[in-house]
Amino acid sequence: MKTAWELLEQLYFERVSGTEGEKRGADIIEQAIKEAGVEVYQESFETQGAVIEKVSFEVLTPYYKQYEATAYYNSGSVEDLEADLLYYEQESDVLKKQAEGKVLLVNGYVGIAGYKKFADTKAKAFISYNGKIDHCEDYDLDQREFREPLKALGSMVGINIKVEDAMELVQKQAERVRITVKQTEGKKVSQNVLAEIDGYENKDVIVLSAHYDSVPNSRGIYDNATGCVALYDLIRYFKEHQPRHHLRFVFCGSEERGLLGSKAYCAMHEDALEEIKLNINLDMVGSIMGKRIAVATAEEALVHYTDYFAKEIGFPLEARQGVYSSDSTPFADHGIPAISFARITSPGTGEIHNRFDVIEHLDERLLLEDIDFVRQYTERMANAYVIMVKKEIPQNMKDEIDKYYGREKKEGKSTC
| DSSP notation for 206-258 | EEEEEE--B-TT---IIIIIHHHHHHHHHHHHHHHS--SSEEEEEEESSGGGT
Distance CA 208, CA 374 (A): 10
Check residue 45 and give its pLDDT.
98
Q: Would 412 be classed as within a structural domain? A: no
- Banded model confidence at residue 109, pLDDT cuts 50, 70, 90: confident
Query: Domain range holding 27?
Result: 4-47+188-405
Q: What is the pLDDT of residues 155-167, one digit of tens each?
A: 999 999 999 999 9
Q: Would 411 be classed as within a structural domain? A: no
**Are 392 and 275 members of one domain?**
yes
Q: Which of 79, 83, 85, 22 is nearest to 53 (CA)?
A: 79
Average pLDDT over residues 125-129: 98
Q: Would strands 276-282 and 291-297 be described as parallel, antiparallel, or unpaired?
A: unpaired
CA angle at 19 for the pair 13 and 23, rounded to the nearest 5°: 70
Question: What residues have CB less than 8 Å from 265, skipping those under 6 apart?
Answer: 43, 192, 250, 252, 330
Distance CA 321, CA 337 (A): 11
Check residue 303 and give its pLDDT.
98
Q: Which of 310, 306, 340 is nearest to 323 (CA)?
A: 340
- Letter string b/e over residues 80-112, b meaning 16 or more CB atoms within 10 A of that residue's CB: eeebebbbbeeeeeebbebbeebbbbbeeebeb
CB 244 within 8 A of CB 382: yes
How many independent structural domains does the chain possess?
2
Check residue 170 and give its pLDDT.
98
**Are 94 and 22 members of one domain?**
no
**Are 64 and 176 members of one domain?**
yes
Q: Would 416 be classed as within a structural domain? A: no
Average pLDDT over residues 219-237: 98
- Banded model confidence at residue 409, pLDDT cuts 50, 70, 90: low
Q: Would 395 be classed as within a structural domain? A: yes
How far is C-alpha 103 from the geometric centre of its chain's CA atoms?
29
Q: Would 213 be classed as within a structural domain? A: yes
Q: What is the pLDDT of residues 248-286, one digit of tens each?
A: 999 999 999 999 999 999 999 999 999 999 999 999 999
Let me know how long the chain is: 416
Q: What is the pLDDT of residues 42-91, one digit of tens each?
A: 999 999 999 999 999 999 999 999 999 999 999 999 999 999 999 999 99
Boundary-marking domain end, from 159, 184, 209? 184
CB 126 within 8 A of CB 104: yes
**Are 125 and 261 members of one domain?**
no
Distance CA 288, CA 238 (A): 27
Boundary-marking domain end, from 165, 184, 203? 184
Check residue 390 and give its pLDDT.
96
Which CATH number belongs to the domain containing residue 251 in this structure?
3.40.630.10
Distance CA 375, CA 233 (A): 9
Distance CA 17, CA 39 (A): 24
What is the percent of the chain with per-residue pLDDT over 90, rounded to a whole number? 91
**Are 106 and 90 members of one domain?**
yes
Does residue 414 have a pLDDT over 70? no
**Are 28 and 143 members of one domain?**
no
The model carries a pTM of 0.94
Which CATH number belongs to the domain containing residue 117 in this structure?
3.50.30.30
Distance CA 322, CA 49 (A): 31
Boundary-marking domain end, from 184, 213, 234? 184
**Are 123 and 233 members of one domain?**
no
Average pLDDT over residues 199-207: 92
CA-based Rg of the chain, rounded to a whole angstrom?
23
Does residue 411 have a pLDDT over 50? no
Distance CA 357, CA 283 (A): 14
Cite the DSSP H helix spans in 67-107.
Answer: 93-99
**Are 393 and 285 members of one domain?**
yes
Report CA-CA distances (Å) from 327 to 93, 160, 228, 337. 37, 26, 12, 12
Q: Would 224 be classed as within a structural domain? A: yes
Q: Which of 147, 189, 218, 260 is nearest to 19 (CA)?
A: 189
**Which residue type is seen at 180?**
T
